[in-house]
């Protein structure tokens, strides 16, 4: 979500299209009244006075005297509604803007409008519609479209990987660790640095007595995300099984911050107690 909000903040100002009015070559100069409402709507929007901006931009729509003015105002009105979270109204305003006739084919706001429509569908989770809109020939090659399409592809990949992880977890609860490993491997084939899949696979390998492989997998999980408590706990379990007391002490010393606040969890972990025995006290005394 933070990444998405950052992306929207980057593009919101130009996408809103409340820029200074450029002279029109085929239309009369915009009326003073139109400019007044349009520019004051921009100022209100930039200062997050959205209700005021809405009122002013609606006035500019009424005062518009050319297709391009009307397009600019409707597109801006759609972005204001979007910023207020009124997605249904935003969609309708964008549709109204797209219906304005006699707009020059290369008029810049048309590109902004196409971006806005696609971004709206992305935000509301209508990914199929968003992909269709971003892939329109008129904007498919733009930086904005390319960025969102990469984000969509990554989200879809994460969803597929997560599906395999959850299937692996289901096998794990049924104590079918071999089948769980197969599912975790499917997830890792899609996303090799998925810390969750690596951690779960490492634990499953511990349960199937593949200790060296388990150790390598858990170490990789730790490299990807050193703040996962269960990865550290599972590393303790594997090292205890291998008789690597020095390694367990080293892990405890190097990760004292996260382990100290979870000391009680370590002390009460029955499996850790069984695998480490008296060595668990040595680990706890380091914290």
Interval 214-245: pLDDT, tens:
999 999 999 999 999 999 999 999 999 999 99
DSSP 3-state of 46: helix
Fold annotation for 2-141: 1.25.40
Tokens of 162: 């997560």
The pLDDT of residue 12: 44
Per-residue pLDDT for 201 more than 70? yes
Among 31-35, 72-76, 104-108, the range scoring the smallest mean pLDDT is 31-35
User: Tokens representing 282?
Assistant: 């040595």
The whole-number pLDDT of residue 3 equals 44
The torsion region of residue 86 among left (phi > 0), alpha (psi -120 to 50) and beta comes to beta
Q: Kindly provide the b/e burial profile for residues 118-138, where b requires at least 16 CB atoms within 10 angstroms of the residue's own CB.
A: bbbbbbeebeeebbebbeeee
- Mean of per-residue pLDDT scores for the chain: 91
Q: Quick one: pLDDT band at residue 7, thresholds 50, 70, 90?
A: very low
**Statement: residue 280 has pLDDT above 90:** yes
Pull the structure tokens for residue 173.
């609860």
State yes or no: pLDDT of 22 exceeds 80.
no
Instruction: Tell me the percentage of the chain whose pLDDT exceeds 90.
Output: 89
Residue 119 has pLDDT above 60, yes or no: yes
Question: Which one, of 102, 110, 40, lies nearest residue 72 by Cα?
Answer: 110
pLDDT above 60: residue 41: yes
Q: Is the dihedral of CA 218, 221, 223, 225 positive or negative?
A: negative
Torsion sign, CA atoms 231, 236, 237, 241: positive
pLDDT more than 70, % of the chain: 89
pLDDT band at 2 (very low <50, low <70, confident <90, very high): very low
Q: Tell me the two tokens of residue 12.
A: 């919101």
* pLDDT tier, 197 (very low <50, low <70, confident <90, very high otherwise): very high
Least confident of 16-25, 42-51, 149-158, 183-192: 16-25
Q: What is the pLDDT of residue 4?
A: 44
Can you tell me which residue has the tokens 């806005």? Answer: 116
End-to-end CA gap in the chain: 35
Q: Is the pLDDT of residue 196 over 70?
A: yes
pLDDT computed for residue 21 by the predictor: 40
How confident is the model over 263-276, as pLDDT tens digits?
Answer: 999 999 999 999 99
Are 184 and 168 contacting, i.e. CB atoms less than 8 angstroms apart? yes
Contacts of 173 (CB under 8 A, 6+ apart): none
């Amino acid at each position: 979500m933070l990444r998405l909000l950052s992306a929207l903040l980057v593009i919101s100002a130009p996408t809103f299209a409340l820029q200074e009015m450029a002279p029109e070559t085929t239309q009369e100069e915009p009326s003073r009244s139109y400019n007044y409402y349009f520019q004051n709507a921009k100022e209100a929007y930039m200062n997050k006075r959205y209700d005021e901006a809405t009122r002013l931009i609606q006035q500019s729509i009424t005062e518009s005297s050319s297709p391009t003015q009307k397009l600019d105002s409707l597109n801006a009105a759609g972005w204001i509604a979007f910023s207020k979270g009124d997605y249904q109204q935003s969609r309708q305003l964008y549709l109204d803007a797209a219906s304005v006739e006699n707009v020059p084919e290369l008029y810049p706001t048309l590109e902004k409008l196409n971006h806005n429509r696609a971004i709206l569908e992305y935000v509301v989770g209508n990914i199929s519609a968003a992909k269709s809109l971003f892939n329109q020939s008129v904007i498919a090659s733009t930086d904005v479209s390319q960025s969102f399409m990469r984000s969509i592809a990554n989200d879809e990949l994460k969803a597929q990987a997560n599906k395999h992880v959850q299937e692996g977890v289901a096998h794990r609860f049924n104590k079918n660790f071999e089948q769980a490993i197969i599912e975790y491997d499917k997830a890792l084939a899609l996303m090799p640095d998925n810390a969750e899949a690596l951690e779960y696979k490492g634990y499953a390998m511990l349960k199937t007595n593949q200790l060296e492989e388990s150790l390598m997998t858990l170490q990789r999980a730790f490299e990807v995300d050193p703040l996962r408590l269960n990865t550290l706990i599972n590393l303790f379990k594997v090292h205890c099984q291998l008789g690597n007391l020095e390694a367990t002490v080293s892990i405890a010393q190097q990760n004292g911050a996260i382990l100290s606040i979870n000391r009680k969890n370590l002390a009460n972990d029955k499996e850790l107690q069984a695998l480490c025995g008296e060595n668990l006290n040595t680990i706890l005394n380091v914290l």
